[in-house]
Amino acid sequence: MISLWTVLILICYPSRGLLTVAYTLEDEQNLQTALLSGYSKGLRPGRDRSFPMTLNMSFGLLSIKEFDLNTGKFSLTGVFQLNWIDERLSWNPANYNQTNSTVISQSLLWLPDLINVNPYEEITGLRLGLSMIVESTGLCNWYAIQTFETVCDTDVTNYPFDTQICSLRFYVWSYEPTDIDVVFVAPKVVLDLYSENGIWEIQDSATYTKINVYNYKEIIVDLFLKRRTSYYVVSLILPLIFIAFLMGFVFLLPADSGERVGFSTTVLLSIVVYLTIIQDILPESSEPNVSTLGFILVTFVVNGSFVVIAVIISLRIQSQSCQKAVPLCINRVALYLRRRRKTKDMVEPLDTKSELNYEDEEEKVTWHEVAKCFDMFCFILLQIFFFVTSTSYLIIVNT
Amino acid sequence: MISLWTVLILICYPSRGLLTVAYTLEDEQNLQTALLSGYSKGLRPGRDRSFPMTLNMSFGLLSIKEFDLNTGKFSLTGVFQLNWIDERLSWNPANYNQTNSTVISQSLLWLPDLINVNPYEEITGLRLGLSMIVESTGLCNWYAIQTFETVCDTDVTNYPFDTQICSLRFYVWSYEPTDIDVVFVAPKVVLDLYSENGIWEIQDSATYTKINVYNYKEIIVDLFLKRRTSYYVVSLILPLIFIAFLMGFVFLLPADSGERVGFSTTVLLSIVVYLTIIQDILPESSEPNVSTLGFILVTFVVNGSFVVIAVIISLRIQSQSCQKAVPLCINRVALYLRRRRKTKDMVEPLDTKSELNYEDEEEKVTWHEVAKCFDMFCFILLQIFFFVTSTSYLIIVNT
Amino acid sequence: MISLWTVLILICYPSRGLLTVAYTLEDEQNLQTALLSGYSKGLRPGRDRSFPMTLNMSFGLLSIKEFDLNTGKFSLTGVFQLNWIDERLSWNPANYNQTNSTVISQSLLWLPDLINVNPYEEITGLRLGLSMIVESTGLCNWYAIQTFETVCDTDVTNYPFDTQICSLRFYVWSYEPTDIDVVFVAPKVVLDLYSENGIWEIQDSATYTKINVYNYKEIIVDLFLKRRTSYYVVSLILPLIFIAFLMGFVFLLPADSGERVGFSTTVLLSIVVYLTIIQDILPESSEPNVSTLGFILVTFVVNGSFVVIAVIISLRIQSQSCQKAVPLCINRVALYLRRRRKTKDMVEPLDTKSELNYEDEEEKVTWHEVAKCFDMFCFILLQIFFFVTSTSYLIIVNT
Amino acid sequence: MISLWTVLILICYPSRGLLTVAYTLEDEQNLQTALLSGYSKGLRPGRDRSFPMTLNMSFGLLSIKEFDLNTGKFSLTGVFQLNWIDERLSWNPANYNQTNSTVISQSLLWLPDLINVNPYEEITGLRLGLSMIVESTGLCNWYAIQTFETVCDTDVTNYPFDTQICSLRFYVWSYEPTDIDVVFVAPKVVLDLYSENGIWEIQDSATYTKINVYNYKEIIVDLFLKRRTSYYVVSLILPLIFIAFLMGFVFLLPADSGERVGFSTTVLLSIVVYLTIIQDILPESSEPNVSTLGFILVTFVVNGSFVVIAVIISLRIQSQSCQKAVPLCINRVALYLRRRRKTKDMVEPLDTKSELNYEDEEEKVTWHEVAKCFDMFCFILLQIFFFVTSTSYLIIVNT
Amino acid sequence: MISLWTVLILICYPSRGLLTVAYTLEDEQNLQTALLSGYSKGLRPGRDRSFPMTLNMSFGLLSIKEFDLNTGKFSLTGVFQLNWIDERLSWNPANYNQTNSTVISQSLLWLPDLINVNPYEEITGLRLGLSMIVESTGLCNWYAIQTFETVCDTDVTNYPFDTQICSLRFYVWSYEPTDIDVVFVAPKVVLDLYSENGIWEIQDSATYTKINVYNYKEIIVDLFLKRRTSYYVVSLILPLIFIAFLMGFVFLLPADSGERVGFSTTVLLSIVVYLTIIQDILPESSEPNVSTLGFILVTFVVNGSFVVIAVIISLRIQSQSCQKAVPLCINRVALYLRRRRKTKDMVEPLDTKSELNYEDEEEKVTWHEVAKCFDMFCFILLQIFFFVTSTSYLIIVNT
C-alpha cells in the first residue's frame, strides 16, 4: 500500500507547505479562536443560498480487501478527497503573522454527510477523521481514508472465468443539487496508490455523478473487475477434467476384471464431491443465472449415472447364457461393426472366397461379442460427449 | 440499489426546492437560533394533549440481504419515511427572507422511538440519522435508511420449494395510541427502489397497523417470499434423484460379478452423505414440521438398508448347495413367474405336447433360478417404490 | 412474537390512559422542569434510609433464540418489567392541569443497576432504554426489553432425549437487601407473549429471589427445557440404527463372494463418520458425563473392529487345506450344532438306523462346515448384541 | 455460577450493613456534594507523595469459559476485588446523621488503570463498573466482575493428556511501585464461587506480584489446568487404537480373498482422516513441540504405507510361476520357520526316521509357502510394532 | 509476554522515580491546574512554527498473534513508545515543592494522530491510552500498547517452506515533515519483550522512516518472518509423499488380483482430498504465484489419472485372446527387455547353444508377457517421475 501523498500533493502543495514559516503558536491560537467564535457547524457554507456550494471530489483506491461471491460482500480500502470553500473560515494571513493554513479538528466544523447507500452491513457515512487542513482562503481539505463494505450483485454464470462490476454509491444526505453540487475532478478512480489484488484484476473504472429521474445527483464509483484464473485452472478445472475424463475408460476395463461397477461409482462420487465443493464457493442464487460450472457438473453426474447403468447392462449381456439366441437386429448391428473393424485391420484381404466363408460362419454372433461392441460404442460416445461438453463450456465462459 | 429520491420527492417536492432562493446564511442562522431556544426535545409535539399527534409512515424496501433458514436471521435494507408536524418548529417565511425550509441536526429535535420487537441480535430502534429537513409549517421529514435484522419463523416442510412470511414489527416506545397515532400512507411496501434478490422472489407485501387486544397499535411490515428453485433443482434434487435411482439397479448386476454388495453400500452411503448435507442447511427444528426432504432421504436410507439385506439374501440363495431341495412353496412361485415370462417370449408355442413335457421337467426349479426371480422381483418393487416416493414428494411440496 | 402490551397494561392501565386529557404541552414542560431541578440521579429513592426501597419485578419471555450445547451459549429475548416509587418524582396533578403521567428520558433518572452474573460474552446490566413513564404518585415503570446471552451448564448424557435447566441470574449492583428489596410479582415466567421455539419445549419455569448464605438476595429466572426429538429421530437415530443393524449381516454373505471384508470395513467406517458428526454437535466436556450416544457409537466401533477380525478368521478357517484335520474340540461343537439344526429340519426322521449311519459318517467335520457354524454363531451373537445395546440405550435416555 | 457475596462479605461486612439506619436521603445528598466538591479524579490518593499508596487485591474465579488450543484464546469470568483508602473521600459520620457509607458512581472518582498485558483481542483495562461503595474512613471498595480474554501459550505435546499453565497478567498503568504498591490478600485464587468446567480441572493456582529486573511489579494470576480425559479416550483414542489395531490383520486374510489391498488401503485412509481431524483441533505450532499424537499418527501412516507395499509383495510372491525356483537363502529361512512350527505342532514325533525323510522332501519350498511365511512374519512384526508404539505413547503422555 | 518496563526504563529512569519525594497531593493539584489553564489541545507543540517539532519513536514487539495466509490478516501486539517536548507543559519543580513529574489524562493533552495505512479491518490510529507521564521539562512520554491488525501481502509459492515480509505502516495525520519530524531511536524492532511464536520465527526486522516521492515521511516497521516447518513436514508433507509413493506400486500388483483399478483410484482420490485440504489453507490468489505445492498436487492428480488409464490398458493387454498375434514392433521391444533381464539373472550361461535355441523359441511373445513388460516399464517410469518431482519440489521451495 502506497502512501497517500499523491492525492494530498495534487491539491494542497502550491498554496501550502512552502510559506509556513515565521508565525508562532500564539498566532495560530488567536486565529482559531477568531474563526470558531460564532461558527455554527450545523449550517452549510455558502453566503448566498440561491447558489449551490461546490464540492470537489476524487476517489483513490488503495486495495481491494475481500470479494465474497457467496454473500456479495465487497470491501475495499480507499480514500475520498473532498475540498470546498467555507467563507466563514477565511482570514487575512497578514493579520496572523503570515499564517497561511491551520489544522482544526473536524468535530468543530461543518462537514457534508456522505451516505453509502449500498452497504454490506450498516449504512455508513464517511468517517469523521481526526483533523482537517484549512487554508486562509477558506478552502477545506478533507481526506476520508476508510474501509468500505458494500454489497455487489454478482453474476456467477462464467465462474471461474467471470468479470464483475462493483459500485460504491453515495449521496449527500439532506441536501439537494440546488444546495450542494458534487463534481468529480477525474473521470476515473485514482490508481497511483493501488496495490494489486491476488484474485482480481482491475480492467477499468469510472467515477461520475448521475442525475436520476427525480432530478437528484448520485455519486458513483464503478470498478470493472476480472478474475485471475490461473489458480482456478490449476486447482479446480484441471483435476475435475481429468476425473471426468476417466469416466469413459470404464468401458475399456475387461469385463471379467470384476472392478467395472466399483470404478464407475467411484468416479461418479468424485464428481458429486466436486459439486458440493462448488456449492460452498458459489451463492445459492438462481438470479440472474445458475453457474455454468454447476450445470456441467450436474451433466457429468447425470451422465455418470447412465454410465453405471450401461456398465450393468453390459455385464448382464456378457453373462447371458449361451443357449439364449442373440436377437436378429442386434446381431446385424454387431456384424456390421465387426466387419468394419475387420476391414480396417486387413487392408488387403488375400482372397475373396475366405471372405465369404467368414461371412457365413459369422452370422452367429455370441453374446460376448455383443457386449464388446456395446462397450466400444459407449466408450466412443462418452469421449465425444466429454469433449463436446468440456470445450463448449470453455468456449461459453470465455466469451 | 436505486437512489432514495422517489420517497423524498413524493412528499417534499411541492413545498420545497423551488423557492429556496433569495435568503442568506445569516437568515438561516437566525431562524435556527429562534426555533431551538426553549425547545425541549424530551416532549412530544402537540399543543393540546387531549388529541394524539399523527405520524405518517411509509416503508420502502431496497434489498433483501440475507435469510438464513438455520438461524432464522432475516436481514434487509430499507427506508422508513416518517413525517409529522411539530408546531414548535413552524415559522413565518416572510420574517426570514423567504426561508422555506432548513436542515437541522436530528440530535437537537424530538423524534419518536420506534422499537423493533422481533430483532435477531439486539433490540434496536430506528437509527438516529444525521440531519432532518424541517419546513416552515413545522412539517418534519425523517428518513431512516437502515439494515434491519429480524427473526423470522421458518417453515421448512417444503424445502426447497418453500414460501416464507417474514415481518418487521415495531411499536412506538412509551406512547399509547391516545398519544401518538401511526398511519401508513400506502397499504403495501414501496418496491420502486427494490433490486431483485437472487434467492427469494417477493410475491406480495403488506404494511398495516394492528389494534391488538390490549388496545395498542403495532406497526407491521409483512413480506411474502417465494424461493427461486432452479439452483436447488440443478445442484440438489437432480443429483439426489439420479443416485437414488441407481439403487435398484444392483439387482440387475449379475450375481457372479462380485460387486453387488459394494455397489449397494456405496449408493447407501452417498444418500447418508446427502442427508448430512441437508442437515447443514436446514434447522434442527421439529416445529412446525420436520422437512419433507429429510423424510424422503431417511426413507431412502431405510430402503437402502433393506436393499443391502436383500442383496445378501439373494447371494445366499444363489450359493445354496444343489443337494438341498428348494422348498415347495418357493418352487411354485418361481415356476409361476417363469411360465409367465416364457409365455410372453413364445407367443406362438408350436405344439402343446412339448409344452407339457416342459412342464414336467421344470418341476425341479434350481436355487439359481429362485435367486434370479428374487432379483427381478426386488428390482421391479424398488423402481415402483422410487417412482412413487419421488413423484409424491414433488406433488406434496409443490401444492 | 407478540406485543408487550400485556405487561404494560397489567400495571399501568387503571392509573393511566383514561384521564390524559385537558393539559397542554406547556403544563408538561413546567412539570418536568420542576421535577428534575435538584434531582440527583446518583442517589437511590427512599427518604428514610432505615427502610429498604421495594423493587417489584416480573419477567416475560418473548422467544428462545439460541441454545448451543457445544459452547453453552443460551440466548433469549425477554422483557423485565420493574416498578418502584421515587418520591422525588411525585406531584400534585391539580397543579399541572390534571397531568397524571409524563414520559421522561431514562438518562435523567435514577435506575437500579441489575447485573447479569452468568453472561456468555460480557457482563451486562439491563439496557438503558429510551424513556420511562412516571406517574403522579412517583411510580416509575421501567421496561427493559432485551436479548440476554447467558451460559448454561449442559448435561448431554441423554442427548438427543435430554432436558436442560437454564437460568438468568441477576443481582442489584452496590446495594444490599437492607437498601433495596426485590420482590417478584409472579412465581413463574410470564408466557403470554411467548412464541414457540422449534427445538425446545418449555416444561416449566420459576422466578424467585434466593437469600444465600451471605444474606444477599439473588434474582433468578429458571427455565426447564425439553428437546423436541422428532427431528433427531428422523435424521440421526434412524440412519444410525439401520447402518449398525447392517453390520451383522456380513456373516450371512457367502464366504466366496469376495466382498465380506469390504462390506464390514465400509460399515465400520460409516459408524466412525457418525462418531465425528456427533462430536461436532456435542461439547468435549467430560463433566458431568460423556454422552451416552458417544458411548454407544464407540461400542459399535469396537464391536465393528471385532467383526472385521471375526470375518478374517472365518475366511481363514474356510481356506484351510483339507489335509489338516479339524481339532477335536471344534469338531464336537460343530457336530452338536449341526445335529440340532438337522433335528429341527427333520421333525420326523423315517428310521432310526439311517440316523445312526449318518452319525458315523459325520464324525469328520470339514473346515468349511466349521466356518459356516462360526458365521452363524457370530451373526446371532451380533444381532443379540445390537438389540440389547439399542434398546438399553433407548431405555436409559428416556428415563 | 455462585453469587459474589463471599468476596463482598469478607471485607465490607464488619464496617457496613449493620449501622445503615437513621439517616435520610438529604443527608446522603449533602455528603456527596461535600465529598465531590474540589475532588480531582485525575490525581491518585495519598496526601504525602513520598509514600506509595497501598492497593489490596484478591481475585475470585467464577468460571472458565473457553480455552481454544488452536488460537491460544483463554477466556474466563472472574472478579477482581480491590480496595484502597482515598483520604479525600473520608468524613465524620456524626456530621451526616450516622451515614457510614455511600454509593458513588465510579465515573466521578479516581480509579487505578489496571491493564491486561497478555490479552487475546484488545488490550483492556478493568471495566469501569457502575458504582462503588465508599466508607466514612475513605475506604473504596471496587469490584470488577468481568470476562477476561487472554492469550495462553499452549504445549500440546501430551494432548489429550495435557496440563496447561495460563496466566492473567496486569500492571498499573502510569504508576511506579514508588507510587502504588499492589498487595495480594491471598496467595491463591478464591475458588469459593467457582463452578466446575467440563473440560478442565483446576489443579492449583497462584496470585502474586513479581518485581522484575526493571524494578517494576507485575500482578500475576496463574492457573494450573489439567484436561479431563474421559471424553477423549472414548471418542478419539479408542476408535483410533482399534482401527490401527486392524491394520496388521491384513496378513491373516487369505491371499486368494482378493480383498487384501482394498482392506489395507481403507485402514490407511482412515488413519489419514484421523490425522486431519487432529489437525483441526491442534495448533500448527512447531514450538515448543509438535503433538506426540500427531507423531503417532504419522508413524501409523508411514507404517500403513509399508504394509500396503508388503501386501503387494506378498501377493507377487504368491503369483510367481512354479517353474522359477525359490532362491536358496529364502528357502532356508522358510524351512527353518516351518520346522519350528511343525515341532511345536508335533510335540511327540513318533520316530526319528520319518523325521529325516520329511526333512529331505521339504528341501523344495514352494513360493506359496514362502508367501505364507512372509505374511506371518509381517503380522507378528506389526502387532509388536503396534503394541510398542501404543504403550510407549501412553507412557510418554502420562508422565 | 514480558512486562513493558524495558522501554519505560530506557528513557524515563534517569529523570524520574528517584526524586519523587517531598511534595504533596495539593502541590500536584496546583501544578495540573496551572498547566492546563489556557492549554489548547488542538494545537501542536512548538512555539516557533518555522521549525518542525521532533517526535522520537521506538517499537517493541510483544507477540505475533495471528497470520492467516488466506485472508492476509496479520495481527501482532506491540508497544509504540513516543516522546516529544511540549513547552506549554514545562514548569519549575522548585515552585511545586520538587514535583518532577505528574500523570495527566491523555484526553486533556495534544497527541499526534498516527494513522495505520494498511489495516486489516478499519483504519485505526494509535489508541488513546489512559494517562501519560509529563516531566518538568515538558517531556511527554506516551506508550501505546495495542493489538495491530494489518494486511500483509503473502507469497505462498514456497508454502510450507515460505518466508514472509510484513509491515506496519503509519503516518502522521494532517502534518507535513515541515511540521512534525519523526525519528526512530533504534534501527530495529525492540525484541527484549518478545515471546516466541509457535509458527513463525523472526529472522530480522527494521524500523525506519522513508521520504517518498512526494517528500513525505512514512513510518515503517518491517518484520521478516520464516515459518517453522517441522509441524508441516510431519502432518502434511510426509503423509502426502507416502501416499503419492504408493501410486506406482499398482504395477507390481499381480494382474489377476482384481484390485488394481480399485487401488489406483483410491490413491488418486486421496491426492484429490489433499488438494482440497491445501485449498482451505492457501489463498485463491494467483498473484504473485500459485503455490508450488498446489502444482505438485495437480501434477500428482494428472499423473494418477494416467496411471489409472495405464492400468486399464495393461489389464486389456492381458485379457487379449491368444489367437490375436502380438504386433511385430511390440514383440521386439518385449524380447529385448526379457533378454536383458534373463542375461542379468543368468550371469554364467552354461553353453551358447542352448542360448541360441532359447532365442528361437522366444520369438513368439505372448500378450501376457507384453503386459508384464508394460507394467514393469510403467513402475520404473513412475518411480523416476515421483523422485524427480519430489526432490525438485524440495529443492525449489528451500532455495
Is C355's pLDDT higher than 50?
no
C278: nearest CA in chain D?
A: D235
Looking at the fold, whether C178 and C254 belong to one and the same domain comes out as: no
Chains contacting D (3+ CB pairs below 8 angstroms): C, E
- pLDDT interval class at A18 (50, 70, 90): very low
Looking at the fold, whether A20 and A162 belong to one and the same domain comes out as: yes
Q: Is residue B264 part of a domain?
A: yes
**pLDDT tens per residue across span E336-389:** 777 776 665 554 444 444 444 444 454 677 888 888 889 999 999 999 999 999
Q: What is the pLDDT of residue D204?
A: 95
The residues that bridge with D343 in the sheet, in sequence order, are none
D305·E230 Cβ contact <8 A: no
Neighbour order of strands in the sheet with A163-172: A114-116, A163-172, A217-227, A200-211
Best of C41, C70, C312 to disrupt the D interface (most D CBs within 10 Å) is C312
**pTM as predicted:** 0.86
- Which one of C71, C174, C214 has the shortest CB-CB distance to D131? C174
Range A6-27 burial, b when 16+ CB lie within 10 A, else e: bbbbbbbeeebbeebeebbbeb
Greatest distance between any 2 Cα atoms in chain A: 123
Looking at the fold, whether E260 and E384 belong to one and the same domain comes out as: yes
CA-based nearest distance A108→chain B, Å:
14
Looking at the fold, whether B33 and B178 belong to one and the same domain comes out as: yes
Q: What is the DSSP string of C185-226?
A: SSSS-B-TT----SSEEEEEEEEEEEE-TTS-EEEEEEEEEE
Chains C–D, number of C-beta pairs less than 8 Å apart: 184
Cell of D59: 481475585
**pLDDT tens per residue across span E33-74:** 999 998 988 899 988 888 899 999 999 998 898 898 888 899
Residues of A in contact with E179 (CB under 8 A): 20
Q: What is the pLDDT of residue A10?
A: 42
B131·A113 Cβ contact <8 A: yes
Looking at the fold, whether A246 and A219 belong to one and the same domain comes out as: no
- pLDDT interval class at D127 (50, 70, 90): low
Chains B–C, number of C-beta pairs less than 8 Å apart: 180
Looking at the fold, whether C183 and C315 belong to one and the same domain comes out as: no
E29 contact partners, CB below 8 Å, separation of at least 6 = D40, D43
Place of cell 408536524: B85
Cell of E232: 508441516
A268: nearest CA in chain B?
A: B243
Q: What is the pLDDT of residue A184?
A: 94
- pLDDT interval class at A21 (50, 70, 90): low
C147·B123 Cβ contact <8 A: yes
CA-based nearest distance D290→chain C, Å:
22
- Which one of E47, E169, E176 has the shortest CB-CB distance to A1? E169
Cell of C186: 409472579
Q: Is residue C27 part of a domain?
A: yes
Arithmetic mean of pLDDT, B261-276: 88
Looking at the fold, whether D30 and D144 belong to one and the same domain comes out as: yes
Q: Is residue E10 part of a domain?
A: yes
Cell of E270: 486421496
Q: What is the pLDDT of residue B11?
A: 44
CA-based nearest distance E179→chain A, Å:
9
Chains contacting E (3+ CB pairs below 8 angstroms): A, D
CA-based nearest distance A161→chain E, Å:
13
- Which one of E24, E104, E146 has the shortest CB-CB distance to D49? E24
Q: What is the pLDDT of residue C18?
A: 47
Cell of B298: 431417511
Domain boundary pick from D228, D245, D268: D228
B253·A265 Cβ contact <8 A: no
Q: What is the pLDDT of residue C323?
A: 64
Arithmetic mean of pLDDT, C61-83: 89
Q: Is residue B92 part of a domain?
A: yes
A38 contact partners, CB below 8 Å, separation of at least 6 = none
A87: nearest CA in chain B?
A: B25
Residues of B in contact with A301 (CB under 8 A): 238-239, 242
Chains contacting B (3+ CB pairs below 8 angstroms): A, C
Q: Is residue A316 part of a domain?
A: yes
Question: Average per-residue pLDDT in chain C?
Answer: 83
Domain boundary pick from D209, D228, D247: D228
Closest C-alpha among C11, C100, C89, C105 to residue C44: C89
**pLDDT tens per residue across span C242-283:** 999 999 999 999 988 888 999 999 999 888 888 887 777 788
Is B14's pLDDT higher than 80?
no
Is B349's pLDDT higher than 50?
no
D278: nearest CA in chain E?
A: E235
Q: What letter would DSSP give residue C117?
A: S
**pLDDT tens per residue across span B288-327:** 788 888 889 999 999 999 999 999 999 998 887 666 677 7
A117·B4 Cβ contact <8 A: yes
Closest C-alpha among E10, E107, E123 to residue E57: E10
Dihedrals phi, psi of C29, to nearest 5 degrees: -65, -45
* Highest mean predicted confidence (pLDDT) among A365-369, E64-68, E306-310: E306-310
**pLDDT tens per residue across span D140-192:** 988 888 888 898 888 888 888 999 999 999 888 888 888 899 999 989 999 98
CA-based nearest distance E210→chain A, Å:
10
Domain residues for D71? 4-228
A5·E295 Cβ contact <8 A: no
Is D237's pLDDT higher than 50?
yes
Domain boundary pick from C228, C256, C274: C228
Distances (CA, A) of E114 to A130, B363, E82, E218: 10, 100, 11, 10
Looking at the fold, whether C131 and C271 belong to one and the same domain comes out as: no
Residues D66 and D75: beta-carbon distance below 8 Å: yes
Looking at the fold, whether E235 and E197 belong to one and the same domain comes out as: no
- pLDDT interval class at E214 (50, 70, 90): low
Best of B140, B259, B338, B382 to disrupt the A interface (most A CBs within 10 Å) is B259
d(CA C202, CA E33): 61
B50·C129 Cβ contact <8 A: no
Q: Is residue B343 part of a domain?
A: no
- Which one of B6, B245, B257 has the shortest CB-CB distance to A214? B6
Q: What is the pLDDT of residue E300?
A: 93
Residues of B in contact with A107 (CB under 8 A): none
Residues of E in contact with D213 (CB under 8 A): 5
Q: What is the pLDDT of residue B198?
A: 87
Looking at the fold, whether E8 and E147 belong to one and the same domain comes out as: yes
Closest C-alpha among C223, C210, C218 to residue C63: C223
Q: Is residue E352 part of a domain?
A: no
Task: Count the domains in chain A.
Answer: 2
Residues of C in contact with D28 (CB under 8 A): 43, 49
E133: nearest CA in chain D?
A: D174
Arithmetic mean of pLDDT, C275-295: 82
Residues of D in contact with C179 (CB under 8 A): 20
Chains A–E, number of C-beta pairs less than 8 Å apart: 183
> Helices A260-281 and A292-318 sit at what angle, rounded to 10 degrees?
170
Residues of A in contact with B263 (CB under 8 A): 261-262, 265
d(CA B127, CA A350): 96
CA–centroid distance for D33 within its chain: 52
Arithmetic mean of pLDDT, C28-47: 91
Residues of C in contact with B218 (CB under 8 A): 3
Residues of A in contact with E168 (CB under 8 A): none
Q: In chain C, what percentage of residues exceed pLDDT 70?
A: 84
- Which one of E174, E258, E297 has the shortest CB-CB distance to A130? E174
Looking at the fold, whether E87 and E191 belong to one and the same domain comes out as: yes
- Which one of C43, C48, C212 has the shortest CB-CB distance to D5? C212
CB atoms under 10 Å from CB of D173, counted, come to 20
**pLDDT tens per residue across span B18-61:** 444 568 888 999 999 999 998 988 899 988 888 899 999 999 99
Residues A218 and A87: beta-carbon distance below 8 Å: no
Q: What is the pLDDT of residue D114?
A: 85
**pLDDT tens per residue across span D261-271:** 999 999 998 88
Q: What is the pLDDT of residue B368?
A: 83
Arithmetic mean of pLDDT, A119-128: 72
Looking at the fold, whether C197 and C65 belong to one and the same domain comes out as: yes
Q: In chain E, what percentage of residues exceed pLDDT 90?
A: 37
- Which one of D48, D117, D272 has the shortest CB-CB distance to E24? D48
Q: What is the CATH number of the domain that holds E387?
A: 1.20.58.390
Pick the more confident residue, C4 or A125.
A125
D262·E259 Cβ contact <8 A: yes
CA-based nearest distance C177→chain B, Å:
30
Residues of C in contact with D132 (CB under 8 A): 174
Residues of A in contact with E305 (CB under 8 A): 242-243, 245-246
Q: What is the pLDDT of residue A39?
A: 92
* Highest mean predicted confidence (pLDDT) among D113-127, E1-15, E152-166: E152-166
Lowest mean per-residue pLDDT among A174-183, B68-77, C188-197, C354-363: C354-363
Pairing of strands C131-135, C101-105: antiparallel
Residues of D in contact with E263 (CB under 8 A): 261-262, 265
Is E199's pLDDT higher than 80?
yes
Q: In chain A, what percentage of residues exceed pLDDT 70?
A: 84
Lowest mean per-residue pLDDT among A323-337, B84-98, C206-220, D231-245: A323-337
Closest C-alpha among E323, E334, E340 to residue E363: E334
D107: nearest CA in chain C?
A: C42
Q: What is the CATH number of the domain that holds B101?
A: 2.70.170.10
d(CA E223, CA E220): 10
Residues of E in contact with A9 (CB under 8 A): 214
Residues of A in contact with B66 (CB under 8 A): 71
**pLDDT tens per residue across span D320-377:** 766 667 777 777 777 777 777 666 555 444 444 444 444 445 467 788 888 888 999 9
Q: Is residue D358 part of a domain?
A: no
Q: What is the pLDDT of residue C138?
A: 93
CA-based nearest distance C85→chain B, Å:
18
